[in-house]
């Protein structure tokens, strides 16, 4: 059987990097795939030949000194217990101080012009949307209504979309497989000098930008090849397969910078910026960029309030994760904010089968598997709830640490869930609680579904 | 993250300077190399590397073990800083990696040629996605195998191999485009 190219490539790289064989010797081992392997191994050789940079010893020492100085100036964590009365008194004094400072601030001439950080809200989502909070090292599922700060990264999975609503009323839709960093969001306290700045890593966005109040305000999206800056407009920005950035303007104008040149793209025009190149001269767009279908709610949703009343099932319970979003620290479960027709309760080390249509209506949440599972988890579905299947506890012992999880990228969610092909035929376990008997649903399959851990987002 | 590293992080979270020094000694070289390949230019790389560890001091309390090593968190901080840096200075001001340091026995012509090749690699890396770039640097600069990269990136070995394949293919395309551009 012919081995996948990625396997052969990995083997060849291991051999060449260890000095066991040259690239040519590897190619001779696999003559059928030599034509495909050769350019990849050549690229690897070019990277290896680049000199590995080493830090200057003086800079190394200076960096360490700077770190230790920062440590010395850091306030020490409070370690002593303080009597409750004293805590209350301190809180009152602090509140009074804050009131006095705030009142004084209102009278200060510079107060209205002070710059303050702003936020964006996940106004709507269809499918898996994740956030990597600034300074954090793990992606987790984002919830509708969640607020994001400058530096947070947001991404959508395949076939997922999202709408970000910014503090000034501007909105940006994220198409499937899109990733952006909210690089900066700020304004003056009086609302002037608005800055909304995104870095788009991949995918496609569509932005509707509110007119900016002054010359110092800006809304811009940067990519690896271009910077698109606007002053109140509607435009789409797509990063293409070859890394080029394509900007299409529906209304207003967008100033696109790349390389050493800037062009102004007007209404119903578009331009492309190749990696390392200048923007192409604007040309008429064949069609205006289509407005995304995902609606923006008139009123922004409230921030989600985490509760632990329904807990996640054991970590090895069936998880839905696209290949690129797998993270050993997270397991994601399905959830939609819709009415519920049936409900079952999972005990630790049990898992269940969910109906097929659920995969089209999911909004996942993340569960930190490093935490001990809570006693039970509730799964609610519109279709017949599945049958509980006890999970082998030995299987759950180290789920996230296995270098090769048993989930395969090819497995469809429903396949992964299908632990018991005939839910009702499993006699050894029964649903703990069912609002609607299996087989009787109030809503058709494919509509509203809800699954556990709705509030288990860490 | 090993138990030993967990203990080190715990000591750092309690404010132990020796623990911070140890974290710095262990990881500064890798973070510096990563940043150097992203921004070129020695001075900028040194400044940003130093800033990474200052941020570690400020945020170590927020670090929580989620199955990935401390180095993965440091790469995240470094990546965010590099993004900010690119925003400040523009994306096309990458300078050669280490202009001041000739390789042993290298003549001026060979050195100039090497600088051009390195510049091409750095620019080509700029055309990759963040994940592709990271997998290239971890593989060829840090010398990690696929299993080690999987642990660090929070992926399966299979998906790391697939990512590595896509990354090299994208790098080849970008380097070809670089060569094409320099011939014009």
Q: Any idea where the domains of chain B sit in the sequence? A: 3-89, 108-183
Give the strand pairing for A120-126 and A147-148.
antiparallel
Q: How many residues does chain B have?
A: 184
Question: Sign (positive/negative) of CA torsion A132, A137, A139, A145?
Answer: negative
Tell me the count of A-B CB pairs closer than 8 A.
Answer: 228
Residue A54 C-alpha, separation from nearest chain B C-alpha, in angstroms:
7
Within 8 A by CB and 6+ apart from A78, the residues are none
What is the C-alpha separation between B12 and A71, in angstroms, rounded?
10
Q: What percent of chain B has pLDDT over 70?
A: 78
* Per-residue pLDDT at B166 exceeds 70: yes
Closest CA relative to residue A291, chosen from A208, A198, A176? A208
Q: Which alpha helices (DSSP H) does A362-412 contain, by range? A: 393-396
* Per-residue pLDDT at B121 exceeds 50: yes
Residue to substitute from B56, B165, B175, interface A, most A β-carbons within 10 A: B165
Q: State whether residue A179 is helix, strand or coil.
A: strand
| Cβ-nearest to A275 among B61, B157, B177 | B177
| Cβ-nearest to B161 among A7, A49, A260 | A7
**Matching residue, tokens 């959508």:** A156
Average pLDDT over residues B154-169: 89
CB atoms within 10 A of CB A427: 7
Residue A219 C-alpha, separation from nearest chain B C-alpha, in angstroms:
14
Backbone angles phi and psi of A30, in degrees to 5? -125, 70
What is the C-alpha separation between B181 and A418, in angstroms, rounded?
53
Topology classification of domain B3-89 = Rna Polymerase Sigma Factor; Chain: A (1.10.1740)
Contact A49 B45 (CB under 8 A): no
Least confident of A355-364, B63-72, B100-109, B160-169: A355-364
pLDDT of residue B91: 52
Residue of B nearest to A276 (CA): B92
Is residue A142 within 8 Å of A131, Cβ to Cβ? Answer: yes
CA angle, corner B64, sides to B62 and B70, nearest 5? 100
User: Is residue A428 within 8 angstroms of chain B, CB to CB?
Assistant: no
What is the C-alpha separation between B26 and B45, in angstroms, rounded?
17
Closest CA relative to residue B149, chosen from A18, B76, B161, A25? B161
CATH architecture of the domain formed by B108-183: Orthogonal Bundle (1.10)
Within 8 A by CB and 6+ apart from B43, the residues are none
User: Is residue B35 within 8 angstroms of chain A, CB to CB?
Assistant: no
Residues of chain B contacting A183 with CB distance shorter than 8 Å: 83-84, 87
User: Is residue B104 within 8 angstroms of chain A, CB to CB?
Assistant: no
User: Is residue A403 within 8 angstroms of chain B, CB to CB?
Assistant: yes
Split at pLDDT 50, 70, 90, the class of B26 is: very high
* Per-residue pLDDT at B112 exceeds 50: yes
Question: Sign (positive/negative) of CA torsion A308, A313, A315, A319?
Answer: negative
What does each C-alpha distance from A93 to A85, A86, A89, A397 come to in angstroms? 12, 10, 6, 50
Residue to substitute from B17, B21, B82, B91, interface A, most A β-carbons within 10 A: B91
Q: In chain A, which among 272-291 make CB contacts under 8 A with chain B?
A: 274-277
Least confident of A282-286, A372-376, B29-33, B69-73: A372-376
Residues of chain B contacting A151 with CB distance shorter than 8 Å: 80
Residues of chain B contacting A54 with CB distance shorter than 8 Å: 29, 32, 98
Do B3-89 and B108-183 have matching folds?
Answer: no
pLDDT of residue A274: 85
Contact B165 A5 (CB under 8 A): yes
Is residue A194 within 8 Å of A218, Cβ to Cβ? Answer: yes
Question: What b-and-e string marks burial along A176-185, b requiring 16 or more CB atoms within 10 Å of the CB?
Answer: bbbbbbbbbb
Residues of chain A contacting B42 with CB distance shorter than 8 Å: 53, 56, 59
Residue of B nearest to A151 (CA): B80
Residues of chain B contacting A184 with CB distance shorter than 8 Å: 87
Bridge partners of residue A251, in order along the sequence:
A234
Question: The tokens of A336 are what?
Answer: 């939609």
Residue B76 C-alpha, separation from nearest chain A C-alpha, in angstroms:
6
* Per-residue pLDDT at B134 exceeds 50: yes
End-to-end CA distance of chain A: 45
User: Is residue B21 within 8 angstroms of chain A, CB to CB?
Assistant: yes
User: Is residue A410 within 8 angstroms of chain B, CB to CB?
Assistant: no
| Cβ-nearest to A44 among B15, B28, B140 | B140
Within 8 A by CB and 6+ apart from A280, the residues are A263, A271, A272, A273
End-to-end CA distance of chain B: 49
Longest alpha-carbon distance in chain B: 58
Residues of chain A contacting B15 with CB distance shorter than 8 Å: 71, 74, 76-77
What is the C-alpha separation between A430 and A450, in angstroms, rounded?
20
Q: How many residues does chain A have?
A: 458
pLDDT of residue A421: 32
User: Is residue B183 within 8 angstroms of chain A, CB to CB?
Assistant: no
* Per-residue pLDDT at B157 exceeds 50: yes
Question: Sign (positive/negative) of CA torsion A296, A300, A306, A311?
Answer: negative
Question: The tokens of A30 are what?
Answer: 């696999």
CA angle, corner A240, sides to A320 and A365, nearest 5? 20
Contact B54 A66 (CB under 8 A): yes
CB atoms within 10 A of CB A175: 18
pLDDT of residue A275: 80
* Per-residue pLDDT at B92 exceeds 80: no
Residue to substitute from B27, B45, B67, interface A, most A β-carbons within 10 A: B67
Question: What b-and-e string marks burial along A267-295, b requiring 16 or more CB atoms within 10 Å of the CB?
Answer: eebbbbbbbbbbbbebeebeebbeebebe
Residue of A nearest to B80 (CA): A151
Residue B82 C-alpha, separation from nearest chain A C-alpha, in angstroms:
12
pLDDT of residue B154: 80
Contact B140 A132 (CB under 8 A): no
| Cβ-nearest to B15 among A66, A76, A369 | A76
Contact B66 A137 (CB under 8 A): yes
Classify the complex by whether its ipTM is higher than 0.85, answering yes or no: no
Bridge partners of residue A270, in order along the sequence:
A248, A283
User: Is residue B9 within 8 angstroms of chain A, CB to CB?
Assistant: no
pLDDT along chain A (458 residues), means of 10: 83 87 88 89 83 82 92 65 63 68 53 69 92 78 89 88 91 92 81 84 89 82 82 83 86 83 86 85 82 80 59 34 35 35 48 40 39 42 39 37 33 31 34 36 34 32
Tell me the helix, strand and coil percentages in chain B, rounded to 5: 75, 0, 25
Contact B97 A50 (CB under 8 A): yes
What is the C-alpha separation between B34 and B52, in angstroms, rounded?
12
Residue of B nearest to A48 (CA): B140
């Amino acid at each position: 059987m012919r081995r996948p190219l990625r396997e052969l490539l990995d083997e060849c790289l291991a051999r060449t990097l260890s000095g066991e064989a040259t690239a040519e010797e590897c190619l001779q081992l696999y003559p059928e795939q030599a034509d495909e392997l050769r350019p990849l191994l050549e690229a690897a050789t070019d990277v290896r030949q680049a000199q590995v940079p080493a830090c200057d010893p003086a800079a190394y020492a200076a960096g360490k000194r700077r770190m230790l100085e920062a440590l010395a100036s850091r306030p020490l964590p409070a370690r002593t217990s303080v009597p409750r009365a004293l805590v209350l008194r301190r809180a009152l004094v602090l509140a009074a101080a804050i009131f006095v400072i705030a009142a004084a601030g209102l009278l200060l001439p510079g107060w209205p012009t002070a710059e303050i950080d702003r936020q964006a809200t996940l106004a709507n989502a269809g499918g898996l949307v994740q956030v990597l909070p600034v300074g954090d090292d793990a992606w987790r599922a984002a919830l509708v209504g969640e607020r994001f700060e400058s530096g947070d990264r947001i991404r959508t999975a395949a076939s997922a979309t999202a709408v970000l609503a910014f503090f000034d009323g501007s909105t940006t839709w994220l198409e499937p497989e899109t990733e952006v960093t909210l690089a900066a969001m700020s304004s003056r306290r009086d609302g002037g000098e608005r800055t909304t700045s995104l870095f788009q890593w991949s995918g496609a966005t569509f932005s509707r930008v509110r007119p900016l109040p002054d010359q110092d305000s800006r809304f811009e999206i940067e990519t690896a090849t271009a910077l698109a800056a606007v002053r109140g407009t509607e435009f789409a920005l797509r990063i293409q397969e070859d890394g080029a950035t394509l900007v299409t303007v529906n209304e207003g104008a967008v100033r696109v910078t790349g390389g050493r040149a800037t062009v102004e793209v007007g209404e119903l025009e578009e331009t492309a910026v190749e990696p390392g190149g200048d923007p192409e001269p604007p040309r008429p767009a064949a069609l205006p960029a289509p407005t995304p279908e995902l609606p923006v709610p008139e009123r922004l949703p409230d921030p989600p309030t985490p509760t632990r009343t329904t807990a996640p099932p054991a970590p090895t319970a069936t998880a839905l994760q696209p290949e690129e979003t797998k993270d050993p620290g997270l397991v994601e479960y399905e959830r939609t904010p819709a009415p519920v027709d049936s409900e079952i309760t999972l005990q630790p080390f049990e898992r269940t089968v969910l109906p097929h249509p659920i995969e089209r209506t999911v909004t996942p949440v993340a569960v930190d598997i490093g935490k001990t599972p809570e006693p039970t988890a509730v799964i609610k579905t519109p279709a017949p709830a599945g049958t509980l299947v006890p999970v082998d506890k030995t299987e759950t012992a180290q789920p996230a640490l296995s270098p090769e999880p048993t989930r395969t990228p090819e497995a469809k969610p429903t396949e992964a869930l299908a632990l018991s092909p005939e839910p009702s035929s499993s006699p050894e376990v029964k649903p703990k609680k069912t609002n609607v008997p299996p087989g009787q649903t109030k809503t058709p399959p494919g509509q509203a579904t809800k699954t556990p851990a709705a509030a288990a987002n860490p | 993250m090993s138990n030993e590293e967990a203990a080190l992080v715990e000591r750092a979270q309690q404010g132990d300077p020796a623990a911070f020094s140890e974290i710095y000694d262990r990881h500064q070289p890798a973070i510096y190399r990563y940043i150097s390949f992203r921004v070129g230019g020695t001075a900028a790389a040194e400044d940003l590397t130093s800033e990474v560890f200052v941020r570690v001091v400020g945020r170590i309390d927020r670090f929580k073990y989620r199955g990935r090593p401390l180095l993965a968190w440091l790469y995240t901080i470094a990546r965010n800083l590099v993004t900010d840096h690119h925003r400040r200075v523009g994306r096309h001001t990458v300078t050669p990696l280490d202009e001041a340091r000739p390789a042993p026995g290298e003549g001026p012509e060979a050195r100039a040629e090497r600088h051009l090749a390195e510049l091409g690699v750095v620019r080509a890396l700029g055309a990759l996605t963040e994940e592709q770039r990271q997998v290239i640097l971890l593989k060829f600069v840090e010398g990690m195998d696929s299993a080690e990269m999987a642990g660090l990136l929070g992926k399966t070995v299979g998906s790391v191999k697939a990512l590595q394949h896509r990354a090299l293919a994208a790098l080849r395309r970008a380097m070809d485009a670089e060569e094409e551009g320099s011939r014009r």
